[in-house]
Structure formats: C-alpha cells, structure tokens
Amino acid sequence: MAAPTRGYKPSYDETVKILLIGESSVGKSSLLIRFADDSFSPELLSTVGIDYKIKTLEINGKRVKMEIWDTAGQERFRTITTAYYRGATGIMLVYDVTSEKSFKQINEWLKLIDKHASENVAKVLVANKCDVSGDRRVVSKERVDAQAAEFGLTCIETSALSGFNVEEVFKEMGKMALNRVEAEKRELQQERAKRDNGVDINAYGKSGGGGGGGCCK
C-alpha cells in the first residue's frame, strides 16, 4: 500500500505535453513567458534557456495541467532531438509575420513533426508578432489562411508583446490536446474490455457522449 499518497488528490484532472517549435527568433520563448508569467522582456530573452513551464487551465470543465516545452535555443543549430517530439500531445508551430523565411520553413517543420511525433498529435499554427504595423509585416493574413487551409491546420494570430490572443492560442491548443488524450483513453479502455471479455464494444464507444465515466488520475 502506498500510504503516503493515500487520499492525495492532484490539483488537475489531465496532463498534456505541448511543444513549441519553429525557427529561431519567431517568439516561442516570448509567447511562453507571456502565457505563464504574463510578462514580456525584450532584452533578456535571447539568453534565457527555458526548458518548460507548467500552467493549469480549466478546459471543458476539467483542470488541464499543461506542460509546455521550449527549445532553449537548439533550433538555431538544428539539433532538436527526436526525444523532444516523443510523447508530445500537442505541437505549436510558430512563425513570425515579419519573417518570410520563418513562413517558408513551415513545410520543413511539418516534415519533422510527421517524422518524429506521434501520428495524431494535435497541431496549431501560430502567426506571432502581429502587433507590427505597415510594411514590417511581410506575411499577410491571406497567405497564412491559404497555407493553413492547405495543411488542414488551425491558425491563430498572436502577439507576445501585446498579449493579443496568447491565452486563447494556448487554450485552443490545450483543448485539442485534451480531446486527443480523452480519445486515446477511450480507445485503450475499449481494447482492454475487448481483450478481457472477448467482446467488441466498439459500437458502444462510437455512440459518443461523455465516454467512460470520469477517469481520475
């Protein structure tokens, strides 16, 4: 009996692991700091190597603990290891609307996701630095929308500087990741029931609804 943990109730219902990827300097660390600490510090950032931050959000009535991993500068040298992708529930692919290059590289990042992340990982495309005005913005909203539609991705415009849409994009990511975790749990339960009983309960699972009453971790 694990006595010390008896009666212990975690302060969350689910955990999801989210990765931030994209070219260097697009604002990944800034987005994470804005979301987790609600701050923005232009000077410090390039020297700060963040590993991950944790924030718990209430999504669909559940407390979802989001463990958000930042690349801490490895993307500069293209040395992000495959281990980084392993076990990710959701991936936020960030580019910078003032950088044509970061937009063009989306394809390459998607290839890396296909290669290293699990097949049905949840993905969100994040167009950061949308606070800039005039011709500093080189990637128009129309091009972003076209690209997102082509890849079947949800795209959200953000600004880590002003805070615009930052909470929203992480919440959307959390929602998609939570859906994935719950779907996987249902599948696992079905497989287990099938194995234990020799009964195919897929038909039950497909009927939707809440699916398997309230799992607690």
| Residues of the shown chain interacting with ligand GDP in the complex, contacts defined by CB under 6 A | 24-30, 42, 45-46, 128-129, 131-132, 159-161
Nearer to ligand GDP, 151 or 164 (CB): 164
CB of 39 to ligand GDP, least distance (A): 12
Find the angle CA(195)-CA(198)-CA(201) to the nearest 5 degrees: 85
Query: What distance in Å separates the CA atoms of residue 146 and residue 144, rounded to the nearest whole number?
Result: 5
The item of Mg ion, ligand GDP, none sharing an interface with residue 147, based on CB under 5 to 8 Å by kind, is none
Residue type, 49: G
Nearer to ligand GDP, 118 or 162 (CB): 162
Residues that bind Mg ion (CB under 5 A): 29
The item of ligand GDP, Mg ion, none sharing an interface with residue 42, based on CB under 5 to 8 Å by kind, is ligand GDP
Nearer to ligand GDP, 27 or 90 (CB): 27
> Among 44, 48, 16, which residue's Cα sits nearest to residue 170?
16
CB of 50 within 8 A of CB of 82?
no
CB of 151 within 8 A of CB of 143?
no
